[in-house]
């Protein structure tokens, strides 16, 4: 099993992407490495397994990559939180602010039932906007958010503070 530094060593850092001044953390180099991907999923799964999670919700799109593997590892179901217009049945939607505009997440109305224990799993905790929206969407559906788990946390962007009302687990911190 790889430790945090070894996992960091598998992540490619790209300066000035997508805009000047941003150091982009590219997880595609981690997920293509079987040992790194397995280690990351094991770390997140080990944190969530004791919480008796019924459903993992993975926000589009990289949340699908991590959420599906974690859901499988902890024997939970998976709900995909999609961008508007991507789901074929009735949906619950939440809109949230971004640095330059807004975005929305949708899940099928019948995907999460009241009383379910839900974990949010995504690739990155940065400013926390997407994760906060996912928490609110789950709660509006009457379920309990038992944790939020992320592959990477950019600690200087303050996202953890937006999730102060639920446990947060991250495998890699920058």
> 100: pLDDT confidence band, cut at 50, 70 and 90?
low
Which are the catalytic amino acids?
A: 62, 99
- Specify the long-range contacts of residues 30-33, CB closer than 8 Å, at least 24 apart: 30/151, 31/65
CATH at 58:
3.40.50.2020
Domains contained in the chain, number: 1
Q: Which residues contact 64 (CB under 8 A, 6 or more apart)?
A: 58, 80
Q: What is the pTM of this model?
A: 0.95
Q: State residue 99's pLDDT score.
A: 63
Percentage of the chain beyond pLDDT 70 is: 98
> 102: pLDDT confidence band, cut at 50, 70 and 90?
confident
Q: Which domain holds residue 159?
A: 4-173
């Amino acid at each position: 099993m790889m430790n945090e530094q070894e996992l960091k060593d598998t992540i490619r850092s790209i300066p000035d992407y997508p805009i000047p001044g941003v150091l982009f953390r590219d997880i595609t180099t981690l997920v293509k490495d079987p040992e790194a991907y397995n280690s990351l999923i094991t770390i997140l799964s080990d944190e969530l397994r004791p919480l008796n999670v019924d459903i993992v919700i993975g926000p589009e799109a990289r949340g699908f990559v991590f959420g599906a593997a974690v859901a499988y590892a902890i024997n939970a179901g998976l709900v995909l939180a999609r961008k508007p217009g991507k789901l074929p049945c009735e949906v619950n939607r939440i809109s949230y602010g971004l640095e330059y505009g807004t975005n929305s997440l949708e899940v099928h109305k019948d995907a999460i039932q009241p009383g379910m224990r839900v974990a949010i799993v995504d690739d990155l905790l940065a400013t926390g906007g997407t994760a906060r929206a996912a928490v609110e969407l789950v709660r509006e559906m009457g379920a309990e958010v038992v944790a939020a788990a992320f592959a990477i946390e950019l600690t200087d962007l303050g996202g953890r503070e937006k999730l102060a009302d639920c446990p947060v687990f991250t495998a890699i911190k920058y």
